[in-house]
Amino acid sequence: MQNNVLILDFGSQYTQLIARRVRELNIFCEIKPYNHLPDDLSDYKAVILSGSPFSVRADDAPHPDLSEIKGKIPLLAICYGAQYLAHFHGGNVAPSNTREYGRARLTSIDGNEPFFYEIREGSQVWMSHSDTIKQLPENALKLASTEDVQNAAYKIEGEITYGIQFHPEVYHTKQGKLLLENFLVHIAGLQQTWTPDAFVETTVEELKNKIGSDKVILGLSGGVDSTVAAVLLHRAIGDHLHCIFVNNGLLRKNEFQEVMDQYEHMGLNVKGVDASARFLNALAGEDDPEKKRKIIGGIFIDVFDDESHKVDDAKWLAQGTIYPDVIESVSATGGPSATIKSHHNVGGLPDFMKLKVVEPLKMLFKDEVRRVGATLGIEDERLGRHPFPGPGLAIRILGDVTEEKVNILQEVDAIFINGLKEWGLYHEVWQAGAMLLPVNSVGVMGDERTYEKCVALRAVESTDGMTADWVNLPYEFLQKTSNEIINKVPGVNRVVYDISSKPPATIEWE
């Protein structure tokens, strides 16, 4: 990639959003931890410094060596990044006298500065810091203020270096995307050429060069990510791709056969493997969410190892890993951000498995995967399928997993998902599912007292899964769905609806 932006992560909760906004401009970017700078910076045409939960005045604050970046590569420093440049280059950063969190309005904008081209006086921005820049760094020129922040934006004269105290990446900064475009396109001179067509062309060529005539095994899940990865690989290496679709006993009702039937029409070489008993036996008695994920990941590896020996000279294992999986599993590629949860398809393979890993989608967000899939000619129905967790219903059954619980949840889930489709609500929702809770509650059916399970329904709207909000489904739909679940699924006498956003909650309950 010669048209590339490097985002240095200082641990901000917003770092991933910076990447999203840059990608929306059709410019490729990568997140790297502040303490692991790439050895070769020649591919990067601009650098962005993220915010951070740290104070630049703290002894343990992130302190990277920017000597090969500042003044040499166009640089935009956001929040902590702006304070960092000030603190270590002749300025002064001190605790704020007033609370600087939330909405603010830009004032005193330098109208001649291309950084603020078409940015309106009074434009709303989002602040999130406890320190403030009292004195600008050497050779700096103030570009804008707010009511409470004197030095809200500045530039270093003689360099293409800009610092801002606010966050252009968040939704609440109304013209944040325009500001990023001004910096990256009009000032740094990057071209907006990173499109789905360009990604497909480049990636297919890279896969051909990397894999050659080797054989590749790909684990299909039936979801968007693995399907797009399969079609992309098939375009690159054709029949050298061997796809395996595993029934782990934790899929949706009738999903195994339905997905196998769909893949038959896509020209892919797919083998179905029923390993449901193997997974359920391994999960017996385990109620810890992380251990359940790791058990499932381990069994997947074992199954693929078994199947790989049946394919002569298989050299590669392909996975549909996408960028949010990587970010949530390894803290923004190893930086200081908090790890959220592990993903079964992230983290490499054990030494005994003699396959190399290829992950053609690992730098894409979910919405980007869908756009790439459309470019590859995959039908809308397949691309519009809701995301489904790799560990399947195991992490939607809170507590230990049994075949009986799986059967209950499959029936509940089928009623919920089919209902969304019948009511024309399915495509208004980004992801939906049901959770089986580890509690019984009292109820009355007829004249008899019941003491049965409670299920929680969840439906969220999102673009990439990094943030999400609950969907305000019609009361009439929820009423009908609840009645149908309680009447048709033995063992369930209570239905609730989850109205939590992400953050602070996650989409899944485990």
Catalytically annotated residues: 79, 167, 169
DSSP-assigned beta bridge partners for residue 135: 92
Cβ within 8 Å of residue 204, ≥6 positions away? 232, 235, 236
H/E stretch holding 380: helix 380-383
H/E stretch holding 216: strand 215-220
Q: How far is CA 170 from the centre of its chain?
A: 16
Dist CA 289 CA 284 (whole Å): 13
Closest CA to 435 of 418, 468, 459, 452: 459
Whether the Cβ atoms of residue 433 and residue 456 lie closer than 8 Å to each other: no
Dist CA 228 CA 231 (whole Å): 5
In 332-482 the beta strands, taken as DSSP E runs, fall at 356-358, 431-445, 448-461, 469-470
SS3 per-residue string spanning 407-444? HHHHHHHHHHHHHHHHCCCHHHCCEEEEEEEEEEEEEE
Rg, the chain, Cα only: 25
∠ CA 63-69-73, nearest 5°, is 150
> What's phi and psi for 497, nearest 5 deg?
-120, 130
Residue type, 423: W
Ordered DSSP codes for 282-324? HHTT---HHHHHHHHHHHHHHHHHHHHTTSTTEEEEE----HH
DSSP 70: T
Q: Which tokens hold the place of 211?
A: 């894999």
Dist CA 320 CA 332 (whole Å): 18
Whether the Cβ atoms of residue 125 and residue 105 lie closer than 8 Å to each other: yes
Cβ within 8 Å of residue 346, ≥6 positions away? 321, 325, 326, 329, 330
Dist CA 174 CA 167 (whole Å): 10
Dist CA 83 CA 457 (whole Å): 44
State the angle between helix axes of 289-308 and 276-283 in degrees (0 to 180), rounded to the nearest 10. 150
Residue type, 68: E
> What's phi and psi for 115, nearest 5 deg?
-60, -35
Count of CA atoms in the C-beta half-sphere (13 A) of 272:
15
